[in-house]
Structure 1
């Protein structure tokens, strides 16, 4: 199987060993790397590390393949061909049909780290059953999970976080067997503990309505110091307050306030990690006038105070994301 053809347009191999392959994509404002491990025939485990706001457009249709994504850091948004908007935040999962690819996508916070499982259903079903020693109709299960929608979203499901966290921190040595076991555990969980009720309902709004909400979200975040009221935005984009709130929740899976707060904190994390700005300067830049409120909100979201986050980020800069994944850590 030629896995190279599965990766996004513009990807090129920058490192290849017997254990993994590193694909790199260059963007106008940054770059991304994808470190791929073949764990079983038909299944590829990929560690993603992107530092860019850009994304991908008009990806090739790849029938017979599905993709599982987990967001560890940052956020990701995409628009499907039918106009639906999908947004992934920290610890969210998506399960999607690569035969119905996205229309466009972006890494809205400028940073995205996570993992993907790329699965060729027919080949993977045989290898999974050979590994388990029993016949499980994985192709039927996957089809049921997608339920005709082409995508399943799992929001910060605590039942599977331990599986994923262990994939990010594989022990030194023996990565191949460890990844095989943990990948199998994750697929079995998805197969037998999830259902299509977790999928976002097919929205009953037109493309024009979705575009307005997208424009509103962009307006809210283009200058994080600027505070708009919902009434101002509703009037500017000729949409009622009720419709704005309803459509925003349908498109982004959260309220306008939750969305704005998340984007502010994600931007703050990126500034702390990549600039010499002080915590107070970062707080002001992302729209917090009170540093203590910023610190409290940041700690609630990231589990550590901004100062410690910045200190840890400096230490991490010398260690590539997924270093254990490429056999270096």
Structure 2
């Protein structure tokens, strides 16, 4: 394909793998908190981006943000992201990108799907109308397709990639594109609010803060709070809080002489037994065994 990307130095993109005429595949592994792309406004080049691990925070032209979490993917043409910047809240991202030259594929489509009309405007009209980017929530079926691009024996890797990219095109052609599978855009104030909730929790980890209490404090519906938090941080509020509590407890066990009961209270557990059970579930050993020198 005759186009080039100028990318942020943190980009670690493997060489493009040609699958068919006009269809290339590349894998991306980024260890950074940001990434920028500059390219021409190419209406005839379509990209499908799949998030495998980490998270992508994609700021749209209207100032809102959309978060791609593991399993989610986007579909767009390159006239919609000419000068885009992305954030990676977790500091890392792994995924894949499929680039389609619609001119090339329309003239020389893969034989197996040549009569489907997939490249004769179908995908573009369905997902890229009015120069928009379609952000899609992953599901069991889409994940079965994308996951097959990984961890295949070396001799079978290219055949799998070629078969699965065709299956992906057929899936996109027949899928129902509705609000149920479209990712939600979030307003800047919603994002700032959940960040404030997050910061409050980290500063007062010893407190037992409930969703109901937070929703009243920040004047937000409990369901909306949970939904926006999961989008921004990639996990549910409860799971995120528990993870931070266990990491803080492990640090205290390693670096202080505090008793298990004191550490349990410091990370918000009134019951030492419940803390011990949660810690063992996280680290596979109880707190006292974790503290013992290896």
- Alpha-carbon distance between aligned partners in 1 of 2:148 and 2:41, rounded to the nearest angstrom: 31
Q: Which residue of 2 aligns with 1:85?
A: 65
Q: Which residue of 2 aligns with 1:176?
A: 158
Q: Which residue of 1 aligns with 2:47?
A: 67
How far off is 1:86 after superposition? 0.9
Task: Give the 3 Å change call, closer, same or farther, for CA 134–33 of structure 1 in structure 2.
Answer: same
Task: Give the 3 Å change call, closer, same or farther, for CA 60–116 of structure 1 in structure 2.
Answer: same
1:40 and 2:38 matched: no
TM-score by length of 2: 0.68
1:192 and 2:192 matched: no
- Alpha-carbon distance between aligned partners in 2 of 1:291 and 1:150, rounded to the nearest angstrom: 49
Q: Which residue of 2 aligns with 1:153?
A: 135
How far off is 1:125 after superposition? 3.2
1:54 and 2:40 matched: no
Q: Which residue of 1 aligns with 2:7?
A: 9
Q: Which of residues 100, 104, 109 in structure 1 aligns to 2:85?
A: 104
How far off is 1:85 after superposition? 1.5
1:164 and 2:146 matched: yes
- Alpha-carbon distance between aligned partners in 1 of 2:242 and 2:25, rounded to the nearest angstrom: 29
How far off is 1:256 after superposition? 8.6
Task: Give the 3 Å change call, closer, same or farther, for CA 57–44 of structure 1 in structure 2.
Answer: closer
- Equivalent residues of 1:248, 1:255 under 8 A apart: no
Which one has a bigger Cα radius of gyration? 2
Deviation readout 1:99-120 (Å, 9 max, x if unpaired): 2127532111112112121222
Q: Which residue of 1 aligns with 2:257?
A: none
Deviation readout 1:191-227 (Å, 9 max, x if unpaired): 1124244224677xxxxxx222222233344586335
- Alpha-carbon distance between aligned partners in 1 of 2:234 and 2:148, rounded to the nearest angstrom: 33
- Equivalent residues of 1:245, 1:255 under 8 A apart: no
1:293 and 2:266 matched: no
Task: Give the 3 Å change call, closer, same or farther, for CA 201–48 of structure 1 in structure 2.
Answer: closer
- Equivalent residues of 1:71, 1:113 under 8 A apart: yes
Q: Which residue of 2 aligns with 1:214?
A: 191
TM-score by length of 1: 0.62
How far off is 1:54 after superposition? 2.0
- Equivalent residues of 1:213, 1:248 under 8 A apart: no
- Equivalent residues of 1:93, 1:154 under 8 A apart: yes
How far off is 1:74 after superposition? 1.5
- Equivalent residues of 1:216, 1:233 under 8 A apart: no
- Alpha-carbon distance between aligned partners in 2 of 1:123 and 1:98, rounded to the nearest angstrom: 15
Aligned length: 259
- Equivalent residues of 1:42, 1:124 under 8 A apart: yes
Unaligned runs of 5+ in 1: 11-24, 27-31, 204-209, 272-276, 297-304, 309-329
Deviation readout 1:35-60 (Å, 9 max, x if unpaired): 23121222221111122222337775
Unaligned runs of 5+ in 2: 255-262, 270-274, 286-294
Indicate the SS of the match to 1:108. coil
Task: Give the 3 Å change call, closer, same or farther, for CA 196–147 of structure 1 in structure 2.
Answer: farther
- Equivalent residues of 1:68, 1:93 under 8 A apart: yes
Q: Which residue of 2 aligns with 1:119?
A: 100
- Alpha-carbon distance between aligned partners in 2 of 1:257 and 1:111, rounded to the nearest angstrom: 13
Segment drifting more, 224-233 vs 35-44: 224-233
How far off is 1:78 after superposition? 1.1
How far off is 1:171 after superposition? 2.0
